[in-house]
Each structure stands twice: as structure tokens, then as C-alpha cells.
Structure 1
Amino acid sequence: MWAVLSKDERRGRALEALRKGDLRTLLDLMEHHLRTWGRAGAKASPNTLRSYRSAVRGFFAWLQGMGLEGEALAQAVAHPSEDLGAAYLRHLEDEGLKPASVNQRRAALGAFYEALKWAGVAERNPFSEAPTRRDPVPKWEKRRPYEEGEVARLLEAATPEERLLVLLGAQGGLRVSEAVGLRWENVDLEARRMRVVGKGRKEASVLIPGGLARALEEAKKEEGPVLPWRSDDAARRALKRLCQRAGVPYRGYHALRHYCGTHLYRSTRDIQTVARHLRHSGIATTTIYAKWGEEEARRVLEAWG
């Protein structure tokens, strides 16, 4: 719809949506702008779009909670004060959101305002001007990996399908969306390679390690999804149930990928090898696994009698 409208038509439709509180139209505008002018373009992640839509809904709920509606709401959004972006982010902090979550909402609402500017509605982007929230907790201390013994307990308690779920993350280094999207047609056990669709819809060939190769061989089919869970959330819930049965703290699915990177670094001491297997775009991301590896070594040394 938005691509065929003139600038005056875009502006009129967006203003009407603001006055009516028509979030569906406004979110459609943001998604069109992201897919047309955003860095990821048409390959914008569904997860990103979903989180951006949620952030915009939260922002409008905050505005409406202050009694703004109709023309007053439209004016507040279209002609934001210089403090609007920073004030909302501070509100999120007061609500207890962590710095990473606050910064994610800042990015989402910045994208929303860029769409409003493109439509000729907003004069400025108050979120691009708002400062990012500095996180005092080092990145490597967050979302710590599952430990060696924990992964062993998960595999011992797992069904064949759950075993594949664990090994795709813990040995293959796949993200949950990559594991859920993996199909048998893209698994080449002879070459020990699997083709996965990663972040930004990028395709990559990933080496299949030994334990994962054996599990795939036992479950091998000609076609169709490798895993029975059809959504990321369903796969996470399955892992959470497995953790409860195995007596392992649930750290999320991504912690299996962290385990893979940490284990590989401890075994090779080669950051480049870890970066290649996990398909990191930059080496800076991979250094987190070196930190975890060093932390484990420190604990071992301190425990020596």
C-alpha cells in the first residue's frame, strides 16, 4: 500500500491513523519502511519485526496512560518534545527493564520515528537523540553457557528428538530458529555438512560434529523438518521441560550455542576456529567465549589443593 502512495497521501494516512489510534496501520508503515529502507531490507527478521511492534505498542500505551488521545496524541507523536525519547526510556528503567531491553526498545522506536519522518508526519526522531543505556554488567557474564556436566545430564535424560534439539545447539552451534528451520534435505551426512538459514536470512554451510552426526544418522529421514517443533517458542518450551526432568537450571536455548563456543575454545584456544563454526560476522563477538574459557580455568586453579 505505502509504496504506491504520494507523499501527501502517505502523510494524510499516517496522520489519520495517529488521530484514531490505529496501531495496525502505523505498524504496517514501520514494517514497510524497514523492509524498504532498513539495513536488512526484505530479509528483516520476523523476530525483529515482532519485537519492534511490541515496543511501539508499549510506547503508545504509555502515552495513552498520560491521558493523550485523538488530536492530542497525534500532536505529541508528530511534534515530539526534545525530552520525549529520553523520558520514555527512563520510564522503562524505572519499571525495572534491563539496559539491553531498554536499548532494544530505543532502536525499535527509533525505527518507528524514521518511518514517520519518511511519511512526512514527524519532524524529528526523539529516540535517535536519546542516550543509550550503558550496561555495567560485562557481556560475557550474561546468559552463561550450560556447563559440561549439565549438557551430559540433558543428553542422558533426552528422548531422541530432544537429543537432536540439544546437540544442534551444543555441538552444531545453531540458534533456535536455525535448529527449528533445519530440514533433512539440507543435511548431508556423507559430507558432514548441513545448510542452515541464519540471521538476516543468510544461508551457511555448517560442519556436523561427531555426536550430532550419529544422532542425525539414527533419526535420518528423506525430507521434512529435522525437529518436530514448529516454532522457536515451542522448541524452547521443550528444552525447558527437559531441563526440569534432568535437574538442570534452564538458561535458554542460546546458552547451548554459548556452550558450543566455550567448549570449542577450551579445546582449540583458537578464536578464529570458534568464529568460523558459529558464523560470527566479527571477531569481537567471539571473544566472549575466551572470557568464559578463562573463567572456567580460574575456578579450576582456585580449587586445587
Structure 2
Amino acid sequence: MTLDHYRGTALAQADTWLTLHDDELRRRAVEAARDHDVVTLVALTLAYLTQQGSSGVLTSPRTREAYALGVAQYLGHAAASAINVLRPGRHDAQRYVQAMLAAGRAPAGVQLKVAAAGCLYRALRWAGATEADPFRDVRVPRDPTSGLEKRPPYTEDELIEVLEHADLHTQFLLLLVAHAGLRISEALALTWADLDEGARRLHVRSGKGRKARRVAMSARLARATRQFRVMHAPGGPEHARYRRPGRDPEFVFRYATPQAARYHLGQVFKQAGVDFRGFHPGRKYAGTRLLQQIRDFGRVAAHLGHASVDTTRKGYAQLAADDLKDDLAGW
């Protein structure tokens, strides 16, 4: 089933549920659960996120999309397995987890699907449709393989090869990811006012968890920023041709979605003969190279915008296996 995504604001979508009388809210939720109505139950879950979620109306579009897909997947499983959504059996939720693992889905992906399904049931309880909480005690096994092993950073040689094939536009984007360590959403949200190439700093105004931070630029990124500003900023010779209609000229990049950025950067990787594995291997390159240089997980975590050093340690940066050999040489 293809979801018909709501195109209004998150608050407007929530209001279509919040304005209902409690009895009508419950009736619609019960009816949707009975019929395995994916579109209605996704809308109910997103309304709950907007009204009762920890981030409320500020929940990121990416989180909303992930939860929508997760709810749709669980409902598809429930329909195929003849699960009563409002009165699931006590083994049904754990069986869902085992089915995903048996199909080859990674534990981290399974955990995200469980979070989405759990949110669906919180929304149903919020609507008064059920008291069921089947995912409360579900267990998802931990994956012992580190994130760096599963999805390693780009190598120095790979980045050099790609940068040699990149035009000014894609070179600037790649350096923001691989030198400044920005998430792609952070890079695409940059405005011209956020860039200070003279001081070799940039301002991320709303990173993950809506946290702002200042990020140092490498010398090469600062040069690329100056060149990009000269050509593409308002008043520059390429601004009119570069600017996409409908995109506010204050933003640095002409496109707003990771999908568009993936297409453009993927083309350059293809020309360079390098496998494009997404944007995170670029962030991992920044983390690993910086850690090997300064040997301080805390500072690397701050550069990447991680709330926990453990996140950096487990998935983004590692020291070489023989890192202590010089220190032990005199023992």
C-alpha cells in the first residue's frame, strides 16, 4: 500500500484529531484498527507524536517519516499474521521482532521498527481504543559488530579521487560532511550567514535534538567556502542560474532534501569509480581522522555533534590497533 502523505503542517494534522470529541476519537481509532487502515493509523500516530511526543510539534520530519513507515510495516505484518491490533496475543510482539531478525534485518533497524510500533500503541491508548502495550517488554538483541565495521568510513584515497572529479558545488558539500563532520540535514540547512570562512567557523543552528553548535572548518573547507560564496551567493555571477525557484536564497544549497543531495554526490562518486555508501561514512572519516590526530573522544564528539561520547566511540571513530606501540616502546 502506498501512503498518501499529509501535506499540511504537523500541527494542522494533529488538530484533525484533537478537535474530536473523546467518543468520536475512540470510535475512529477502533474502526481503523479493526480494518487495518494504514493511512488513518499512521495519521493518528503522527498526531500523537505532535501532541504528546517528547519533541512535540518540533519532531523532525525524518523521525515522522521513519515512524510512519514503521507503523505501516507493523500493520502489514499484523494483517498477514491475523493479529488483532487492539487485542494482540502476549507473544505477538516478540514474534514480530524474531520475524524481522530472521529476514535478515539488522538489530538497529529492528529497534527502530519496534519504536514505531510502540508509538502506535501509545497513540491507540491515548485515543482510548485499547489498554494493550505489547511492545513494553520486547527484547531486541544487541549487535556486537561495531558501526565502523558494518559501515566503514571513506578512505583518504577514496576522498581524494572523488574530490578530483567534483565540481565546486559537490566538492563543497563533500567537505562539509567529511571535514566539518556535518549530517546531511545540517549541511542542507546552512544559510550564507552561518558561514564564517574568515574565522574558519560555521554555525549549525539546529542539529540533532535541535542542538546548536559551532564547528571549526579545515583550511581546505574554508577555501572552498570562499570560492563557493564568490560564485553562488546572492550577487555572484552564478547565483541566478544556480538558484532553484521556490528555494529561499538565504540557503546555501539549491536543494533541500537528502535525496537530491544523494543523487548529485552519487553521480560524482560514480565518475570517480568509488562506491557511494551514503553520507555517514564521510562523518566517520572526519571522526576517525580527528581522533587519530588529537586522541580525545570528547572533542571529537563535540565536533560531530554527539550528545554522548559512547556514540562516537562505538560508531564513528577508532584508534589504530597499534596506537600504543610508540608509548610502550621504552617498557
* Within-5 A mapping of 1:13-92: 13-66=28-81, 68=82, 76-92=84-100
Task: Note if contact 2:22-2:127 (Cα within 8 Å) is conserved in structure 1.
Answer: yes
Shift, 1:296, TM fit: 8.0
Identity of aligned residues (%): 36
Using the alignment, how far apart are the partners of 2:156 and 2:297 within structure 1? Answer: 20
Shift, 1:126, TM fit: 1.0
Shift, 1:173, TM fit: 0.7
Give the TM-score taking structure 2 as reference length: 0.82
Cα 1:293–1:148 change in 2 (3 A) is farther
Task: Note if contact 1:102-1:133 (Cα within 8 Å) is conserved in structure 2.
Answer: no
Task: Note if contact 1:271-1:290 (Cα within 8 Å) is conserved in structure 2.
Answer: no
Partner of 1:172: 180
Give ranges in structure 2 of 5+ residues lacking alignment: 1-15, 235-248, 325-331
Shift, 1:85, TM fit: 0.7
* Within-5 A mapping of 1:1-305: 1-66=16-81, 68=82, 76-196=84-204, 197-220=206-229, 221-222=233-234, 223-288=249-314, 292-295=318-321
Task: Note if contact 2:147-2:316 (Cα within 8 Å) is conserved in structure 1.
Answer: no
Give ranges in structure 1 of 5+ residues lacking alignment: 299-305
Cα 1:8–1:296 change in 2 (3 A) is farther
Q: Select between 128-137 and 199-208 the one with higher mean Cα deviation.
A: 199-208
| 1:127 counterpart SS class | coil
Deviations 1:62-93 (A, max 9, x none): 22224x4xxxx6xx111111111111111112
Using the alignment, how far apart are the partners of 2:322 and 2:268 within structure 1? Answer: 25
Using the alignment, how far apart are the partners of 2:199 and 2:20 within structure 1? Answer: 51
Cα 1:239–1:103 change in 2 (3 A) is same
Using the alignment, how far apart are the partners of 2:196 and 2:208 within structure 1? Answer: 21
Shift, 1:297, TM fit: 5.2
Cα 1:296–1:109 change in 2 (3 A) is farther
1:18 partner letter: A
Cα 1:288–1:129 change in 2 (3 A) is closer
Using the alignment, how far apart are the partners of 1:86 and 1:289 within structure 2? Answer: 27
Using the alignment, how far apart are the partners of 1:94 and 1:286 within structure 2? Answer: 29
Q: Select between 110-119 and 18-27 the one with higher mean Cα deviation.
A: 18-27
Give the TM-score taking structure 1 as reference length: 0.88
Shift, 1:174, TM fit: 0.4
Cα 1:244–1:134 change in 2 (3 A) is same
Cα 1:232–1:286 change in 2 (3 A) is same
Cα 1:295–1:175 change in 2 (3 A) is farther
Task: Note if contact 1:161-1:228 (Cα within 8 Å) is conserved in structure 2.
Answer: no
Task: Note if contact 1:261-1:289 (Cα within 8 Å) is conserved in structure 2.
Answer: no
Deviations 1:255-274 (A, max 9, x none): 10111111111111122221
Number of aligned residues: 292
Using the alignment, how far apart are the partners of 2:265 and 2:299 within structure 1? Answer: 27
Cα 1:153–1:281 change in 2 (3 A) is same
